[in-house]
């Protein structure tokens, strides 16, 4: 249907985390002393949270975060004060929060926070609020009390969602993980964290972007391209508004598609074009669904049947969420059919090898061309011509 945006489209949203240097207060011993006192309060606060000691936590200030985080299995939680802005009996602290989810994160998630504090008559500081800093994205507990659903291969953390709803996500993710492993291989963590905020607005807040960027997008995956090992496990972030209108097959395709992004992250680099990363995720997502090319690529099918066969594979700019919905759908469908063609003609194993070879290139220029030659044994021109014939044959 013209004007319809593909509801499960995803962006590989890199977590670009800046480490803010500690703001010096040279020549101001009182400020230095206050900063050290605030750091000690935050250290005690972190220890109480990890130790599940609500009484000790309450001594350090507001209990809001403790209550909201009770269900989250934390392996670590630390604050580092980067700047203190005192104001008599009150203060504002800029801090870097670093935390890990037990069993899932290989490195800490980093979040910039702004804490407000008040000093009591005896000189003790306590926290009155702990909020995202400036334009930093929110965390799932900023959206409300977190509920957790644990699957065999998944952890689903939601705010404003019922336990039954979160368990349904865990079941989908638990089917997605082995499906992805069967196609891609075992060289990934084989587990996934899914975040389910209350609404589209909550999803956008977690991503630090306007809601309009994700309207009609059912889920995105965050992570570090290239998988250096410094970044935590990826997060699949769901837009519950768009996800709810999908049927059972569509919901499974979404979670399998996003889980593919988690699995392939270490081999997805700046050399990887979006037609390949998104097309490959759709290829795995649709495996076993029984969907025909015309059913899975309706927008491109309409164009082909009208005599408009694309001349070349889509460029990265064609995958922008703010693009024309029809063109956006056609871009995804074109990438999917390219990956399907490779699997059909050269074999599924060769498709995985092609993906890895492209990502291993040191730059975008020549990455696909080299892999087409070395892995598929053809030329870029012949590959594009074969793809155009494949699109015409399957959709015409």
Tell if the pTM clears 0.85, that is, is over it.
yes
Average of per-residue pLDDT across 364-392: 98
In the prediction, which pLDDT does 216 show?
87
Distance, CA of 152 to CA of 139 (rounded, Å): 24
pLDDT digits (tens, 9 = 90+) for 42-66: 999 999 999 999 999 999 999 999 9
Question: What was the pLDDT predicted at 223?
Answer: 76
| CA–CA distances in Å: residue 184 to residues 87, 222, 263 | 56, 19, 8
- pLDDT, tens digit (0-9, with 9 covering 90-100), for 166-205: 999 999 999 999 999 999 999 999 999 999 999 999 999 9
Per-residue pLDDT of 243-297, as tens digits, reads 999 999 999 999 999 999 999 999 999 999 999 999 999 999 999 999 999 999 9
Per DSSP, 166 falls in state: H
How much is the average pLDDT of 209-229?
A: 80
Tell me how far apart the alpha carbons of residues 178 and 50 are, in angstroms, rounded to a whole number.
Answer: 32
Neighbours of 194 (CB within 10 A): 26
Boundaries of every domain in the chain: 29-134, 273-396
Work out the percent of the chain whose per-residue pLDDT is above 90. 83
pLDDT given for residue 88 in this prediction: 87
Stretch among 28-32, 323-327, 357-361 having the lowest mean pLDDT: 28-32
Q: Does 366 score more than 60 pLDDT?
A: yes
Give the pLDDT confidence score for residue 367 in this predicted structure.
98
Look at the block and give the residue holding tokens 């659903």.
149
Which ranges in the chain belong to alpha helices (H)?
A: 29-50, 54-59, 64-69, 163-184, 200-207, 240-243, 248-264, 274-286, 293-296, 298-305, 325-346, 348-359, 367-374, 380-395
Fold adopted by 29-134 = Nuclear Transport Factor 2; Chain: A, (3.10.450)
The conformation of residue 244, written as its DSSP 8-state character, comes to T
| Phi and psi, residue 141, nearest 5° | -75, -15
Banded pLDDT at 106 (limits 50, 70, 90): confident
Instruction: Examine the pLDDT at 14 and tell me if it is beyond 70.
Output: no
Q: How far apart are CA 137 and CA 134, in angstroms?
A: 9
What is residue 224's predicted lDDT score, i.e. its pLDDT? 60
Q: What pLDDT is stored for residue 24 in this prediction? A: 35
pLDDT for res 324: 83
- Give the C-alpha distances (Å, rounded to integers) separating 254 from 236, 260, 284: 10, 10, 10
- In order of 32, 180, 247, 360, the CA distances from 267 in angstroms are 45, 15, 31, 7
Q: pLDDT at residue 361 above 70? A: yes
State pLDDT tens for residues 290-322: 999 999 999 999 999 999 999 999 999 999 876
Give the per-residue pLDDT at 232: 57
> For the residues 388-392, what does the mean pLDDT come to?
98
Instruction: Tell me how long the chain is.
Output: 396
pLDDT at site 92: 97
pLDDT of residue 18: 26
Mean pLDDT over the full length of the chain:
90
Q: Kindly list the distances between the CA atom of residue 101 and the CA atoms of 156, 219, 254, in Å, as whole numbers in the listed order.
A: 12, 21, 23
Predicted local confidence at residue 33, as pLDDT: 86
């Amino acid at each position: 249907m013209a004007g319809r945006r593909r509801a499960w489209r995803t962006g590989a949203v890199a977590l670009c985390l800046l480490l803010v240097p500690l703001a010096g207060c040279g020549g101001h011993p009182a400020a230095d002393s206050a900063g050290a006192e605030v750091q000690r309060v935050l250290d005690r606060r972190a220890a109480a949270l990890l130790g599940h000691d609500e009484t000790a936590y309450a001594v350090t200030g507001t209990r809001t975060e403790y209550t909201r985080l009770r269900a989250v299995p934390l392996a670590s939680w630390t604050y580092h004060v980067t700047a203190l802005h005192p104001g008599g009996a009150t203060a504002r602290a800029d801090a870097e929060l670093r935390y890990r989810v037990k069993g899932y994160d290989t490195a800490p998630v980093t979040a910039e926070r702004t804490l407000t504090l008040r000093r009591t008559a005896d000189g003790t500081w306590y926290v009155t609020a702990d909020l995202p800093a400036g334009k930093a994205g929110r965390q799932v507990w900023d959206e409300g009390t977190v509920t957790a659903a644990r699957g065999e291969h998944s952890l689903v953390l939601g705010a404003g969602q019922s336990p039954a709803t979160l368990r349904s996500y865990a079941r989908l993710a638990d089917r997605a993980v082995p499906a992805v492993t069967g196609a891609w291989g075992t060289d990934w963590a084989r587990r996934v964290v899914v975040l389910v905020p209350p609404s589209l607005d909550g999803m956008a807040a977690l991503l630090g972007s306007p809601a309009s960027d994700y309207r009609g997008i059912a889920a995105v995956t965050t992570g570090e391209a290239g998988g250096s090992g410094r970044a935590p496990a990826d997060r699949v972030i769901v837009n519950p508004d768009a996800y709810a209108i999908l049927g059972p097959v569509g919901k499974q395709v979404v979670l399998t598609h996003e889980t593919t992004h988690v699995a392939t992250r270490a081999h997805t680099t700046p050399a990887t074009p979006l037609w390949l990363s998104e097309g490959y995720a759709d290829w795995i997502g649709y495996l076993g669904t029984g969907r025909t090319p015309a059913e899975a690529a309706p927008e491109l099918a309409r164009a082909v049947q009208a005599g408009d066969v694309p001349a070349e594979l889509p460029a990265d700019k064609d995958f922008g969420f703010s693009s024309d919905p029809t063109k956006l759908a056609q871009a995804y469908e074109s990438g999917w059919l390219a990956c399907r063609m490779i699997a059909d003609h050269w074999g599924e194993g060769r498709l995985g090898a092609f993906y890895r070879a492209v990502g291993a290139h040191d730059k975008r220029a020549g990455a696909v061309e080299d892999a087409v030659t070395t892995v598929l044994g053809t030329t870029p021109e012949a590959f594009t011509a074969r793809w155009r014939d494949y699109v015409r044959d399957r959709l015409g």
